[in-house]
A and B are shown apart, each in its own frame.
Chain A
């Protein structure tokens, strides 16, 4: 549809060599409309409804409910889990990325780990919780971890499983971008290995590393399927509480709880992802 419509006008303007009578941005309208309906509109609904009470009247005081101890508890829970899993995940992921990058760029190992990262970083969900349940859960094959159902640790371990591959995918391009010549140059100037990493390699990679860690934080924050399959009786984190609020009407009175929690998550995500974008831009200055 879009292509056909723009094709006509584009062709005419090309041949006539003058300004098109129909502006060429019209070709992007189908895409923009789709995104507006299925991405911007739902987000808008969340933001607007967060400031309304269930009867549909405006209630701007809702916002203070974000600081209600009950609500705050879920955010603190989310925060604990995300910090724990993203720190461990980013460190291990960076180490793995370095091990991959220092090998043959066309080798089997690299290919295998990259493909596996592509799948495992995506395929969290319910399946992952099953896999860990049968490995270290109460009936586990490997051992029966007594802490499997403890809040940040058990679920944190599961989150790390998909965070390491994500970190590999994000951090590998940065490591690949470090040139041999920089190392050689600093060695020619008499630097030790420590000095090279302290003054050249480390500072170059640090923005990419921190950016990756923030991305993992965001991924852990928005994950829902895994923790729901891990424990569906107690709500520990914000996403679980959103789903509870969606499927039942109990909770804070006179507030659209789900919308409010969702808005809180949007704000948190916006902060984290802005930080990520800034760090990535900083990282891109040197690499490539």
Chain B
């Protein structure tokens, strides 16, 4: 309701072509836009700047120092694994999760689109289901299953099994968008009539054409793994977020907390930003 009233104050078209708009209305719209961008932009940026400032805090309050950033590679505290190992595990988990997600989801989605359309709704439902079942609920039921997995391996890397499920909804939507942007049937018929096997059709014809969708799926899965805390924490594994949480329990003001958090966030942010530009350049050329 409030949104509608707010929109009402600055009536305008939303197609982004203000050419036909009256000058007065456009001016008011622009003022509104700049106010919104500034206020909410500050709301988004200030906590991050806070993190950055605290990561550069010296031993005395108000002084500056780069110690916390140098500590990222070497930080160790009694009773918890070294920070560096947690970072490595999280990076490895992200790579494995993305790989498994792609191998599992891309061929299945293409195959379903081509040959088993009646299963499309079921697959979509299953992929979006993890949005409805919170991680905190999943972890309750995962206990018995991870007991069995731990018979084979105690490594934290085993978390990838469930991280793939957590990434499914985001990956599915990205891939579905990529898939619906191309004419799958025509491509596959053309390839098939030239004698391609189904493997070639999926891996060498259709998948390269939905590169942007695959890229987005990988990024979103990456972000999911990097931010995951609940399942790792409650199954007693250590990933980056659990490590940061443990450090904050031991030494609440450790500068390394803020430098690592900030680095992880900026890392993902820059990756996303760069790739969204890559996508645009490709579209422009094609």
For chain B residues 156-203, which have a beta carbon within 8 Å of chain A? 161-162, 164-165, 168, 170, 192, 197-199, 202-203
- Judged by a CB distance under 8 angstroms, whether B226 is at the interface is yes
For chain B residues 219-238, which have a beta carbon within 8 Å of chain A? 219-220, 223-224, 226-230, 233-234
Per-residue CB proximity of A24-45 to B under 8 Å, as 1/0?
1101101110110111011111
Q: Is the pair A10, B198 in contact by a Cβ cutoff of 8 Å? A: yes
Distance from B163 Cβ to chain A, minimum over Cβ atoms (Å): 10
Distance from B284 Cβ to chain A, minimum over Cβ atoms (Å): 9
- Judged by a CB distance under 8 angstroms, whether A77 is at the interface is no
Task: Give how many A residues have a beta carbon under 8 Å from the other chain's beta carbons.
Answer: 106
Q: Is the pair B192, A242 in contact by a Cβ cutoff of 8 Å? A: no
Q: Is the pair A222, B134 in contact by a Cβ cutoff of 8 Å? A: yes
Which B-chain residue is minimally distant from A232 (CB atoms)? B249
Q: Whole-angstrom distance between the alpha carbons of A46 and B199 in the complex?
A: 39
Q: Is the pair B111, A28 in contact by a Cβ cutoff of 8 Å? A: yes
A16 partner residues in chain B, CB cutoff 8 A: none
Main SS of chain A's interface residues?
helix
Q: Is the pair B203, A102 in contact by a Cβ cutoff of 8 Å? A: no
- Judged by a CB distance under 8 angstroms, whether B135 is at the interface is yes
Name the 4 nearest CB pairs between A and B, nearest first. Answer: A222-B134, A42-B141, A225-B229, A131-B47
Given A3-B107, A119-B272: A99 and B258 interface contact (C-beta under 8 Å): no
- Judged by a CB distance under 8 angstroms, whether B91 is at the interface is no
For chain A residues 112-166, which have a beta carbon within 8 Å of chain B? 112-116, 118-120, 122-128, 130-132, 134-135, 139-142, 161, 164-165
B134 partner residues in chain A, CB cutoff 8 A: 221-222, 224, 239, 265, 269
- Judged by a CB distance under 8 angstroms, whether A252 is at the interface is no
- Judged by a CB distance under 8 angstroms, whether B108 is at the interface is yes
- Judged by a CB distance under 8 angstroms, whether B132 is at the interface is yes
Binding stretch for chain A, among B71-79, B80-88, B262-270: B262-270
Binding stretch for chain B, among A55-63, A64-72, A103-111: A103-111
Interface size class of B (residues with CB under 8 A): 35 or more
Q: Whole-angstrom distance between the alpha carbons of A181 and B115 in the complex?
A: 39
Which A-chain residue is minimally distant from B261 (CB atoms)? A127
**Total residue contacts A-B, CB cutoff 8 A:** 299
B145 partner residues in chain A, CB cutoff 8 A: 37-38, 41-42, 45
Distance from B260 Cβ to chain A, minimum over Cβ atoms (Å): 9
Among B14, B40, B108, B249, find the residue whose CB has the most chain A CB atoms closer than 10 A.
Answer: B14
Q: Is the pair A161, B115 in contact by a Cβ cutoff of 8 Å? A: no
Residue in A119, A122, A134, A201 whose beta carbon sits within 8 Å of that of B258 in the complex? A134
- Judged by a CB distance under 8 angstroms, whether B126 is at the interface is yes
Residue in A116, A130, A209 whose beta carbon sits within 8 Å of that of B248 in the complex? A130
Q: Whole-angstrom distance between the alpha carbons of A25 and B123 in the complex?
A: 12
- Judged by a CB distance under 8 angstroms, whether A270 is at the interface is yes
Q: Is the pair A224, B273 in contact by a Cβ cutoff of 8 Å? A: no
Residue in A132, A229, A269 whose beta carbon sits within 8 Å of that of B245 in the complex? A229
Q: Is the pair B261, A131 in contact by a Cβ cutoff of 8 Å? A: yes
- Judged by a CB distance under 8 angstroms, whether A79 is at the interface is no
A-B residue pairs in contact (CB < 8 Å), sample of 30: A4-B199, A7-B199, A27-B115, A32-B126, A34-B104, A38-B164, A39-B126, A45-B144, A94-B6, A98-B6, A99-B36, A114-B276, A119-B265, A122-B170, A123-B227, A126-B229, A132-B47, A141-B54, A180-B17, A193-B11, A197-B4, A222-B136, A222-B137, A224-B135, A225-B245, A232-B249, A239-B134, A258-B140, A269-B134, A270-B132
